[in-house]
A and B are shown apart, each in its own frame.
Chain A
Amino acid sequence: MDHLAYDIEDFLCDVSFQRYCLGNDDADVVYWSRWVAAHPEKKHQLEKAKKLYFELNGNITDRHFRADYAAFKEAFSKRKAGYIVDEDNHEPVKVKLWPRIIVAASIVFAIGAGLWFYQTAQQKGGRATIMANDIKPGKNIATMTLANGQVINLSDAKRGVVIDAAQLSYSDGSSLEHLSEGNTINNLEKIMISTPRGGQYQVELPDGTKVWLNAASSISFPSSFSGLDRRMVELSGEAYFEVTKTKTKHIPFVVSSNGQEVEVLGTHFNINAYTDESSIKTTLLEGLVRVSNAAKTKEAKTAEIVIHPGEQAQFARGLIRTNQVDVGEVMSWKEGYFQFNNADIKAIMRQISRWYDVDVRYEGATPELAFSGEIQRNLSISRVLKILNKSGVHFRIEGKEVIVMP
Chain B
Amino acid sequence: MKDGADLIWLKFKEGDEEAFLELYRMHYLGLINYGIKLTGDREIANECLTNMLMQLWDSRLKLPEVTNVRAYLITCLKRVAFSHFKSVQTRRIKEGKAVDLMEEGLSQADYFDAIQNNSVLRSALLKAMEVLTEREKELIKLKFFDDLDYDEIADKCGITKRTAYNITHDAIKKLRESLKEKNGEDYYSLLCIVIFLTLYLK
Q: Which residues of A contact B (CB under 8 A)?
A: 7-10, 12-13, 15, 18, 22, 24-25, 52-53, 55-60, 64-65, 68-69, 71-73, 75-76, 79-80, 83, 86, 89, 91, 159-160, 171, 202, 204, 210, 242, 245, 250, 265-267, 286-288, 290, 306, 376, 378
Contacts and interface: CB of A to CB of B under 8 A. Distances in A.
A69 B28 contact: yes
A7 B115 CA distance: 24
Nearest to B189: A287
Contacts of A68: 28, 32, 46, 49
Which of A59, A73, A287, A306 is the most central at the interface, judged by chain B CB atoms within 10 Å of its CB?
A59
B196 A69 contact: no
B196 A210 contact: no
A381 to B, nearest CB: 15
Contact of B140 (A24, A56, A266, A287): A56
A383 to B, nearest CB: 11
B120 A171 contact: yes
B33 A265 contact: no
Interface stretch (B65-73, B94-102, B165-173): B165-173
Given A24-B29, A71-B50, A12 B172 contact: yes
A204 B168 CA distance: 33
Given A13-B169, A59-B119, A286-B189, A265 B196 contact: yes
Nearest to A94: B15
B57 A76 contact: yes
Contacts of B24: 69, 72
B54 A79 contact: yes
B168 A13 contact: yes
B115 A89 contact: no
Given A59-B118, A64-B42, A76-B53, 15 more contacts: A12-B172, A13-B165, A15-B150, A24-B28, A52-B176, A56-B144, A56-B145, A58-B111, A58-B114, A60-B29, A75-B50, A76-B57, A171-B120, A242-B121, A267-B192
25 contacts: A7-B173, A9-B169, A9-B173, A12-B172, A15-B150, A24-B25, A56-B145, A57-B147, A58-B114, A58-B115, A59-B114, A59-B118, A71-B50, A72-B24, A72-B49, A76-B53, A76-B57, A79-B54, A79-B58, A80-B17, A91-B61, A210-B121, A265-B196, A287-B193, A287-B196
B12 interface: no
A242 B53 CA distance: 39
A15 B114 contact: no
B120 A210 contact: yes
Given A12-B172, A13-B165, A265-B196, A89 B61 contact: yes
Interface string B50-81: 10011001100100000000000000000000
Which of B26, B50, B122, B195 is the most central at the interface, judged by chain A CB atoms within 10 Å of its CB?
B50
A288 B197 CA distance: 9
B195 A58 contact: no
A128 to B, nearest CB: 25
Contacts of A52: 172, 176
A57 B169 contact: no
Nearest to B53: A72
Contacts of A7: 173
B43 interface: yes
Cβ-closest 6 pairs across A and B: A56-B144, A9-B172, A59-B118, A24-B25, A58-B114, A57-B144
A240 to B, nearest CB: 12
Contacts of A64: 32, 42
Interface string B38-52: 000011001001100
A378 B28 CA distance: 20
Contacts of B125: 55-56
B21 A73 contact: yes
Nearest to B168: A13
Contact of B188 (A15, A22, A71, A245): A245
A24 B68 CA distance: 20
Nearest to B172: A9
B33 A160 contact: no
B155 interface: no
Nearest to B24: A72
Nearest to B51: A75
A270 to B, nearest CB: 16
A204 B120 contact: yes
Contacts of A265: 192, 195-196
A245 B200 contact: no
Which of B61, B144, B188, B193 is the most central at the interface, judged by chain A CB atoms within 10 Å of its CB?
B144
Contact of A57 (B57, B122, B145): B145
B149 interface: yes
Given A58-B115, A287-B192, A306-B200, A9 B176 contact: yes
Nearest to B57: A79
A163 to B, nearest CB: 13
Given A9-B172, A25-B25, A378-B43, A75 B54 contact: yes
B87 to A, nearest CB: 18
Nearest to B185: A48
Which of A58, A160, A265, A286 is the most central at the interface, judged by chain B CB atoms within 10 Å of its CB?
A58
A58 B147 CA distance: 11
A75 to B, nearest CB: 5
Interface in B143-170: 143-145, 147, 149-150, 165, 168-169
